[in-house]
Structures are given as C-alpha cells and as structure tokens.
Amino acid sequence: MSATIIDGKQVASEVRAEVATGVAAFVERHGRAPGLATILVGDDAASAVYVGGKQKACAEVGIQGFDHRLPGDATREQLVALIEQLNADERVSGILCQLPLPGHLDGVEMTNLIAAEKDVDGLTVGSAGRLALGLPGLRPCTPAGVIRLLDHAGAQLSGAEAVVIGRSNLFGKPMAQLLLQRNATVTIAHSRTRDLEAVAARADVLIAAVGRAEMVRGRWIKPGATVIDVGINRLAEPPAGRRSSLVGDVCFDEAFPVAGAITPVPGGVGPMTIAQLLANTLQAAELQAG
C-alpha cells in the first residue's frame, strides 16, 4: 500500500481553465475583463517574484492586471491614497497588497483599507468575520485551494477528524473554519500543543502548516489518512534521491507508505494559491457587477 499523490499542478490548471471560461463569459456580458490590482512596496526580491507570478497568471486567464509599485520609502499617505484610488476604480475587481510591507508601514492597517468586496486575499477583518460567522464572502486563497484539493482527492470531510497544525491568520485559522463548515471535527494544534504526535495521529485529514522542514514523521500519520502539506522549506541541498531542495513540513518518504493520499512539495498546495486568487478575482468581479 502506498498513498495516492494529489497533483496540485493538475487541479490548479483545472481551476485556471474554469476561471478562463468564466472570464470569457464575463467579458461577453460586460464588455470588459475582471481586473486585479497588485501593490508592491519596495524591492524585496521574493515579493517581486510573487507579484510577477500573479500578474502573469492574470494575463493567462484574461484578467486585466494593474501592476502598482511604490518605492521602499513610500509614505503611509502615498499607500493609503493608492488603495483608495483602487477601491474607487470600477475596472479593478480585486486588490492585493503584497506583504510584508517595509517596517515603517503597518501591513494589517493597510490591508484593512481594501474594500471588502475587493479583498481577494480574504485577509481583512471583514472577510475574516464573514468567514467566522458563516456568511458568504471572499475566502483566503491557500485554505480555499486546500478544500479544492481535498474534494479532488475524494476526501470525506463530514464527520472526519481533521487536524490543522499551525494557527496563522493567513492559513491555519481560516483553514479550520472552512473544515468546520464542511462538518469536520476540527482540532487546531500548534507550537504549544503537548503531544503533537498523538494529536496528529488522530487525524483522518492532517494538514501541516508550520514551516519546519519534514517535522511530521511517518509514525505521526494514521494509516489511510489524507495528508496536506502546506510547508515550503528550502534545504541546503536536495535530499538523497531528489532533484529539488524544496521540502514540505511532512517527511514525504516516511508518509507516503502510510497515508491514503498526500500532496507533494513542490507541486501540491503551492500551485493552488494563485489559481484560487484568480477564482476570487472573478468572483469579486461577478459580485460587483451584480
């Protein structure tokens, strides 16, 4: 017995194809494309790569990209003015402020200036509240992408024991909410959890998002469980027998013989985030168009 590998690249490309179809229909009805504005402050190399990837993905599905860049010493007033301008711009369906911001700017404050209906990252207070209360709204991209992967893998969520390791605002907490909405019995574990191995071993659905390379070992996994690895950690060199030096939070080689299904790193959860951002942008455009 060994696990089915959940192919995130394939599922992400399905999502992108669905979005492209939806965008074409939107253009047909409204005479314009949905638009995604990205804001990058400063010249952090990794952030520039992320923003570039998002803009490229928009172009591929027909979403109009608005690529805004401010210098690293931009003032709070400049950034506020830009966000307010984008909030008011009807061509802009979604707004994404790439984090982290330079130290003199408050990422939480700036994110919360984004109009609720354009919050395609799902990270504002309004979006978090709508999720917590079970109201419709834009959901954070990575947890939404994980739900899509679980559905693709045929995971039974209702009544399942789901364990999320990690409690960030970006992933762990909204992930738990989405699993609860799907009627899983949800446990959130974290750095203070006493016996993490025992908690993980209860999980029918185990989701690791801790940012520690290969922390989740094979013996932590309930036989047959569905394992979702959200971590992306770069080792100094590739592990024996691998080409990539990227590894997840799960020790794949140990987990593979035990799990029922598992996402690889890379090629698992990673590709879903941008795909879901595109889906959120289309959803936002459709909601704004009524």
Query: Is 199 near a copy of itself (CB under 8 A)?
Result: yes
To the question of whether residue 168 is assigned a binding role by annotation, the answer is: yes
Q: Which amino acid is at 274?
A: I
To the question of whether residue 202 is assigned a binding role by annotation, the answer is: no
Catalytic residue among 54, 118, 173, 222: 54
Cα–Cα distance, 282 to 277 (Å, whole number): 9
To the question of whether residue 245 is assigned a binding role by annotation, the answer is: no
Site string for a copy of itself, 113-132 (x = CB under 8 A): -----------xxxxxxxxx
Q: Write out the H or E segment, with its range, that includes residue 132.
A: helix 125-132
To the question of whether residue 232 is assigned a binding role by annotation, the answer is: yes
Q: Which span sits near a copy of itself by CB under 8 A: 25-33, 73-81, 97-105, 193-201?
A: 193-201
* 195 catalytic residue (yes or no): no
For the bound state, the minimum distance from the C-beta of residue 261 to a copy of itself, rounded and expressed in Å, comes to: 20
Query: Is 194 near a copy of itself (CB under 8 A)?
Result: yes
**Can you say whether residue 259 is alpha, beta or left, with left for phi > 0 and alpha for psi between -120 and 50 degrees?**
beta
Half-sphere exposure of 218 (CA within 13 A, CB side): 9
Peptide linkage before 266 cis (omega within 30 of 0) = yes
For the bound state, the minimum distance from the C-beta of residue 220 to a copy of itself, rounded and expressed in Å, comes to: 15
* 222 catalytic residue (yes or no): no
The label of the residue with tokens 């659905």 reads 205
At a CB cut-off of 8 Å and minimum separation 6, what does 138 contact? Answer: 117, 119, 120, 121, 122, 127, 280, 283, 284
Query: Is 180 near a copy of itself (CB under 8 A)?
Result: yes
Instruction: Say whether 228 sits in a helix, a strand or coil.
Output: strand
Query: Is 167 near a copy of itself (CB under 8 A)?
Result: yes
Catalytic residue among 119, 121, 229, 249: 121
Catalytic residue among 98, 177, 276, 283: 98
Would strands 233-234 and 246-247 be described as parallel, antiparallel, or unpaired? antiparallel
The label of the residue with tokens 């992408």 reads 145
Q: Which span sits near a copy of itself by CB under 8 A: 170-178, 222-230, 234-242, 245-253?
A: 170-178
Binding residues for NADP(+): 166-168, 232
| Residues designated as active site | 54, 98, 121
- The site for a copy of itself (CB under 8 A) is made up of 108, 124-135, 158-161, 167, 169, 173-174, 176-177, 180, 183, 185-190, 192-194, 199
